[in-house]
Amino acid sequence: MTGSSDGIGQETARRLLSSGHRVVLHARDDARAKEAAEAVPGAAGVAVGDLSVIAGTRQAAESASELGPYDAVIHNAGVGSAGARHPTADGYERIFAVNVLGPYLLTALMPAPPRLVYLTSGLQSAGRVDLDDLQWERRAWNGMHAYSDSKLYDVLLAFAVARRCPNVRSNAVDPGWIKTKLGGRGATHELPVGADTQVWLAASDEPEALVTGRYFKWRQDLRANPAAYDTGLQDALLSACAALTGTCLPG
């Protein structure tokens, strides 16, 4: 469970743990790892690695793999809109680095589990695929549009993995507008609502949960942004991520 030191990730981890599952958390550094372990007592461990940089994501993948194997991996970590374009230490735009390159590289580096869940947002519906400017280097910066684009790319990634890895159930989840640091105080729903669908997809044996290549909100199988179903765009995004990370997705 990436990004499980607070918010939806932490709530999801608690729910799975209370149901008797073995849960491994994730945090970006040792200080946050300590906080995560204290907040979710009984967790099997905490994988550490900063998903905003390639080296940190590789560290997280190695740490998580050592604590595995897993029945499910939930890619929950993410950052929201920003008022200005912020490059990471690698020189990549931060929203794209954390929200897209992070889950891509973890998927590429870790042994494939039977189930994968990628957190997206309802704002994916407003996202646009711009393969010539994935990191907003040419366009005038718009933080909300950059975030929406990244969430669309997460759906593309989930669907691409589902298509390329038939032994893996790979799905995308919009948790809704949840009261977290990212969602803000004006959000309409509490943490349990935001965690429920991920818990269900990760652990349920109900037929509705045993699917792949789907986009869910509150356990409802919905239609995503039409661009997400374009296999050419899926493959182009994978190629771009491979070039930026130096690592190809298996399959």
| Residue at 80 is within a domain | yes
Helix (H, G, I), strand (E, B) or coil at 24: strand
Q: Looking at residue 183, what is its pLDDT?
A: 64
Q: Would 56 be classed as within a structural domain?
A: yes
Query: Rounded to whole angstroms, how far apart are CA atoms 120 and 128?
Result: 14
Number of structural domains, the chain? 1
Is residue 1 one of the residues assigned to a domain? no
Residue 118 appears among annotated catalytic residues? no
Buried b (16+ CB within 10 A) or exposed e, 230-242: eeebbebbbebbe
What pLDDT is attached to residue 178?
Answer: 77
Separation CA 21–CA 248 (nearest Å): 31
Residue 150 in domain: no
**For residue 56, how many C-alpha atoms fall within 13 Å in the half-sphere facing its CB?**
20
pTM for the complete prediction?
0.95
| Domain around 58 | 7-145+156-245
Question: Which pLDDT value is given to residue 213?
Answer: 98
Is residue 163 a part of any domain in this protein?
Answer: yes
Beta pairing class for 72-75 and 115-119: parallel
Sole residue written with tokens 């349920």: 204
Q: What is residue 87's DSSP assignment?
A: B
Measured CA to CA, the distance from residue 193 to residue 211 in angstroms comes to: 21
Instruction: Tell me how crowded residue 251 is: count the other CB atoms within 10 A of its CB.
Output: 14
Active site residue 92: no
Considering the candidates 147, 153, 179, 215, report the single residue annotated as catalytic.
147
Q: Which residues of 47-59 are buried (b: 16+ CB within 10 A; e: fewer)?
A: bbbbbbbbebbbb
CATH code, 88 = 3.40.50.720
Residue tagged active-site, from 151, 153, 179, 215: 151
Residue 45 lies in a domain: yes
Residue 220 lies in a domain: yes
pLDDT of residue 220: 97
Look at residue 27 in the predicted model and tell me its pLDDT.
95
Residue type, 16: L
pLDDT at 233: 98
What's the chain's Rg over C-alpha atoms? 16
Report if residue 213 sits inside a domain: yes
C-alpha dist (Å) from residue 182 to 176, 197, 242: 12, 18, 28
Averaged pLDDT, groups of 10, the chain, 251 residues long: 90 96 96 94 96 98 97 96 96 98 98 97 98 97 98 98 97 86 69 91 98 97 98 98 96 73
